[in-house]
Chains A and B, each alone.
Chain A
Amino acid sequence: MKLVISAYTATCAAGTGLSALQDSIIQRRSGLRPNDFPGCELITWIGRVASVEDVALPEGVASLQSRNNQLAWLGLQQDDFLEAVRAALQRVGSSRMGVVLGTSTSSIGRTEEAYTKLDSSGLMHRDFLQPEVHNLHSPGLFVARALGIQGPSMTISTACSSSAKVFATAARWVSSGLVDAVLVGGVDSLCLSVLYGFNSLELVSSNPCRPFDSARDGISIGEAAGYALLTRPEMFPSTSFALLGYGESCDAHHMSHPHPEGKGAVLAMRRALVRAGLDASAIDYVNLHGTASKVNDQIETHAMEQVFTAPVHASSTKGWTGHTLGAAGILEAIITLEGMRHDLIPGTLNCEQPDAEFGFPILAENRTARLQVGMSNSFGFGGNNASLVFGRNDD
């Protein structure tokens, strides 16, 4: 069953809210900055959202204080998204809306801080005794409680594919009759775990990331919050966009290295196309995972060659936003939708010279084009892959 996307919003280093994000895209202005994250000494560039620290949580959820939840709240307040959710809740009833978010960090930044202030018995200081914060489901708990959503809520945490897989789960929930609407999305925030963690794997660049560039040398870590509201078409018939298909797979290769032939990526894309009932030639734009790691980008172009026998406009937008990990799926799905909304394909920022070894063309510059169908791909650690297909809801 096709679901329509009746509202969406995104907040990342390149912009708080859609209009700021689109402006950055048009102006080719990266949101990355030299690392100034407190407590992190690494020489790197990060995609840090402005003023997250200043966000005050509403009274009913103040006890869920964490930087990740502050970012979650900042994101919810953009683009009249809160109003859209409240209107949908009125229509379907609060038990008939679900929440499925993706995250990799959740609020571990808060746990990190708590561990610097353990008492003499190794236990957490009173201020940090927040059971609903120090666990993976914190963003889902936070969003559901902040918005008064009483339906089922779940967090998916499969590294970089997390907030793409949420669309698949939402489609299954609605089609099962469990709920009539699902708030999907993802929130990941900068924290020492991911900064030092990816650094320990030697995957981080000390410069702004350059996806698909011949001189690329690693990722730039970013943070983001993004959300979308999915419902049956009959509920919002004049909605612009729909989820046409999704595909999920595993690489079955290595925990931190993709399958050398891109086997899982190819499977995920093909499954999404089958579910959408479309041939690869129907896709007008692909938002690539394109992290700027030496290995991912090379393998991803190989996967694209296998699925797309005719050229298709394809780019990575991580030069604007950084790699937002658990939030990458939703952020890049929304960037794809925005491309369709504005008839403007974002190119690959920071890609000056695509690697000559690639057998697949990468779009570096922005390009005006009318898009009917877009695809967004997210390929994560542990070889967990998701591919999404979006189209115009004008059948």
Chain B
Amino acid sequence: MIELDVVGAGAWSHHFGNWQDLALGLSGKGWREDVKLAPGLLTPAVRRRAPVSVKMAIEVMKQACDMASLDPRELATVYCSAMGDMQITDYICQTLAQNPELLSPTQFHNSVHNAATGYWTIATNAHSPATAISAYTYSASMAFFEAAIQAADEDLPVLLVTEEVQAPPALRFACPTNAPFAAAMILAPVSENLPAIARLGIETRAETVKWMGHSGLPDQLVNIPSANLLSVIATLAESQSLQEPRRVRLPLSPGTHVDISVTASAASRRYHA
């Protein structure tokens, strides 16, 4: 069993601008409309070149670090998205089909799956390790597990970020996201010094489980592979008002899952919406 604290969280979509908005929405208190991305860490020149996928990820990563009062340079990063930046894939494939010599070098270097972590570590001057993964429908749970293992193994906080961009028409059949979203959380070794949102007890089991949906999520985020992490976040939000531990099970593969017990911590009441 790995024990870790969630010490910071971030979230963004058109319906929630941060974790507190997400918690409010999940508890039935309504969703916002048309939330815009904040300018954030990127300089105006870099912002102009950066795609939405990078801007969203940086927004939620910054929120999580600010909430935890942690310097990004002290954190390793685990990024996931099931499909990568589909908008850029669409641009690249369209351009290649019409006029390949016109392919934009900026768009090309933005197409690497680790673009968001690249821009993030550049903006924050962080030399700690970063990874970018996909496991298609298991992306969010595998990323969660990877982050948990790294935190336990290296005894360091790990910043986990998951996101998905809006699908272009040609790729909707593979992943029908109608709107972009991103979420982040920081998993840290248990410590008395860092106030936590919740404490997690994490174990893997050789047993098939199904995805836990969450009826409170906005319609457009239901059944999106990377949004499956939001069931963990939803449980974090709910645990604020409950005394007993909650349990979330995330499938890792057809035959295995990760079992997460979520307990509110004493310090967490300050995050209660």
* Chain A residues at the B interface, C-beta cutoff of 8 Å: 40-41, 94-96, 104, 108, 111-112, 114-116, 118, 121-124, 129, 131-132, 134-137, 140-141, 150-159, 165, 169, 172-173, 175-178, 192-193, 196-202, 248-256, 263-264, 267, 380-384
Whether B153 pairs with A201 at a CB distance below 8 angstroms is no
Q: In the complex, A150 Cα to B257 Cα: how many Å?
A: 12
For A104, the chain B residues whose CB sits under 8 A away are 112-113
Instruction: Collect the chain B residues with CB atoms within 8 Å of residue A172's CB.
Output: 146, 149-150, 153
Q: A131-B174, A169-B146 are in contact. List 20 more A-B contacts (CB 8 A).
A: A41-B100, A95-B253, A112-B96, A115-B97, A135-B84, A135-B175, A137-B139, A151-B253, A152-B145, A152-B252, A153-B135, A154-B135, A157-B133, A158-B113, A158-B132, A169-B131, A256-B109, A381-B109, A382-B112, A383-B121
Find chain B residues with CB under 8 A from A165 CB. Answer: 131
Least Cβ distance of B149 to chain A in Å?
5
In the complex where A154-B142, A263-B127 touch, is A115 in contact with B94 (Cβ < 8 A)?
yes
Contact indicator A381/B112 (Cβ below 8 Å): yes
8 A Cβ contacts from B167-220 to A: 169-171, 173-175, 204, 206
Q: In the complex the two chains form, what is the Cα distance from A190 to B254 in whole Å? A: 31
Given contacts A252-B124, A383-B122, contact A116 B97 (CB under 8 A): yes
Q: Which residue of B lies closest to A171 (CB)?
A: B153
| Residue of B118, B124, B131, B134 touching A135 (CB-CB under 8 A) | B134
- B127 interface neighbour in A116, A251, A380, Cβ under 8 Å: A251
Inter-chain CA distance A150–B254, complex, in Å, is 6
Min CB distance A33 to B, Å, is: 20
- Assess whether A254 is in contact with B97, with CB atoms less than 8 Å apart: no
Q: A40 — which chain B residues lie within 8 A by C-beta?
A: 100
Q: CB distance B127 to A267 under 8 Å? A: yes
B204 to chain A, nearest CB (A): 5
Which of B89, B103, B135, B145 is the one whose CB lies under 8 Å from A200?
B103
Judging by beta carbons under 8 Å apart, are A383 and B97 in contact? no
Complex Cα gap A185–B149 (Å): 20
Question: What are 10 A-to-B residue pairs whose CB atoms are below 8 Å?
Answer: A114-B170, A121-B169, A123-B170, A135-B136, A150-B255, A152-B145, A155-B135, A172-B149, A251-B121, A254-B122
Residue in B100, B135, B152 whose beta carbon sits within 8 Å of that of A192 in the complex: B100
Interfacial chain A residues near B130, Cβ < 8 Å? 158, 248, 250, 384
Q: A134-B174, A382-B112 are in contact. Are A141 and B136 (CB under 8 A)?
A: yes
Q: Do A131 and B118 form a contact, CB below 8 Å, given A151-B256, A178-B204, A193-B92?
A: no
Asked if B114 and A380 sit within 8 Å, CB to CB, the answer is yes
